[in-house]
């Protein structure tokens, strides 16, 4: 069965395709491993082994009441890598998944990791604080909590528009992409998704970033309305030793899907180094 068993017994679902060098994908909130469809199909066809799991409380994984925190998410990822015997992996994290990749390395090291990629990722810290004046005010994240608690179905339909940049003048919204975002969000559990909001907004990943000691690529859309680039990708690139930053004018938070051809080409070039 395609499940790893977490320390607390929670089932962590994963997809594992191919037999080449492993790429392990960590998805954003409130999605699932299916958010990586465009990358999974492309890279398995390029001869890589591709793996994507659903974070606890999301997708097809278990929905426990406890453990909806980044320490546990990182340990769940470790359980997947251990079950599959992964070595020399490229860890690729989008949005909240970028925090998961950084915290996995900060907590478990890089003995199984050869490269890291952070895409539209939340590190180092999204929340505005005295030491992080460029962050977003807590009211933004309280609003997300209110939306999830009040009517998460409608909230996810509304969130998909800025997520993919479909609210911009001249944009051509894809109803299929919006529907897929909604379906992935609704497959998860409200408690886990609600509690995950704190993990992508209030957790400081600075010390994790400092521990990354493998070649690292940071990709970020310059029109990311969900995780603004100046306080995320650009700051992370200054913290991770030797990191390469590539930015994309006009690209949205959901660029891995709506601009998959561009992102896949840049990922492939990095992975072949």
Separation between Cα atoms, residue 64 and residue 92, nearest integer Å = 25
Q: Whole-model pTM?
A: 0.98
- Residue 24: CATH number of its domain: 3.40.50.1820
Separation between Cα atoms, residue 147 and residue 240, nearest integer Å = 34
Structure tokens at 66: 């406890």
Q: Could you give the angle at the alpha carbon of 248 between the alpha carbons of 77 and 42, nearest 5°?
A: 50
DSSP letter, residue 34: G
Q: Which residues contact 258 (CB under 8 A, 6 or more apart)?
A: 164, 165, 174, 177, 252
From the candidates 76, 220, 224, 236, which is the catalytic residue? 224
Residue range 76-98: average pLDDT?
A: 98
What percent of the chain clears pLDDT 70, i.e. is strictly above it?
100
**pLDDT score of 39:** 98
* CA distances, 236 to each of 15, 24, 154, 171, 246 (Å): 29, 20, 32, 29, 12
The dihedrals phi and psi of 248, each to the nearest 5 degrees, come to -130, 110
Contact indicator for 166, 173 with CB cutoff of 8 Å: yes
* CA distances, 207 to each of 68, 175, 185, 188, 266 (Å): 21, 40, 30, 30, 27
From the candidates 95, 201, 236, 252, which is the catalytic residue? 95
Contact indicator for 30, 79 with CB cutoff of 8 Å: no
Per-residue confidence at 95, pLDDT binned at 50, 70, 90? Answer: very high
**pLDDT score of 136:** 98
Question: Which residues, in sequence order, are bridge partners of residue 218?
Answer: 118, 245
Structure tokens at 247: 């930015």
**pLDDT score of 202:** 98
User: What's the number of domains the chain is made of?
Assistant: 1
Separation between Cα atoms, residue 126 and residue 149, nearest integer Å = 21
The answer to whether residue 208 is catalytic is no
Residue range 121-146: average pLDDT?
A: 97
**pLDDT score of 20:** 96
Residue with tokens 């395609």: 2
Burial of 7 (0-12, 13-18, 19+ CB in 10 A): exposed
The pLDDT tens digits for 227-269 are: 999 999 999 999 999 999 999 999 999 999 999 999 999 999 9
What is the residue-averaged pLDDT of the chain? Answer: 98
The answer to whether residue 220 is catalytic is no
Q: Is the pLDDT of residue 1 over 80?
A: no
Q: At what angle do helices 260-271 and 37-45 cross, to 10 degrees?
A: 50
The answer to whether residue 108 is catalytic is no
DSSP letter, residue 55: P
What is the extent of the structural domain holding 214? 3-271
């Amino acid at each position: 069965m395609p499940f790893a068993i977490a320390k607390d017994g929670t089932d962590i679902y994963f997809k594992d395709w191919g037999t080449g060098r492993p790429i392990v994908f960590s998805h954003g909130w409130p999605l699932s491993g299916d958010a990586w469809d465009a990358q999974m199909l492309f890279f398995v066809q390029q001869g890589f082994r591709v793996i994507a799991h659903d974070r606890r409380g999301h997708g097809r994984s278990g929905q426990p009441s406890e453990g909806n925190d980044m320490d546990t998410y990182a340990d769940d990822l470790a359980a997947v890598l251990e079950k599959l015997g992964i070595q020399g992996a490229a860890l690729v994290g989008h949005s909240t998944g970028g925090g998961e990749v950084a915290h996995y390395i900060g907590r478990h090291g890089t003995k199984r990791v050869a490269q890291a990629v952070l895409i539209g990722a939340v590190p180092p810290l999204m929340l505005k604080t005295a030491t992080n004046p460029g962050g977003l005010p807590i009211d933004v994240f309280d609003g997300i909590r209110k939306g999830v608690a009040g009517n998460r179905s409608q909230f996810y339909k509304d969130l998909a528009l800025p997520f993919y940049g479909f609210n911009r003048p001249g944009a051509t919204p894809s109803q299929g992409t919006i529907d897929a975002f909604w379906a992935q969000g609704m497959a998860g559990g409200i408690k886990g998704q609600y509690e995950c909001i704190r993990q992508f907004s209030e957790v400081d990943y600075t010390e994790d970033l400092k521990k990354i000691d493998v070649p690292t690529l940071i990709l970020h859309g310059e029109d990311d309305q969900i995780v603004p680039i100046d306080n995320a990708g650009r700051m992370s690139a200054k913290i991770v030793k030797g990191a390469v930053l590539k930015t994309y004018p006009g690209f949205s938070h959901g660029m891995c899907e709506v601009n998959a051809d561009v992102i896949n080409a840049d990922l492939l070039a990095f992975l072949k180094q």
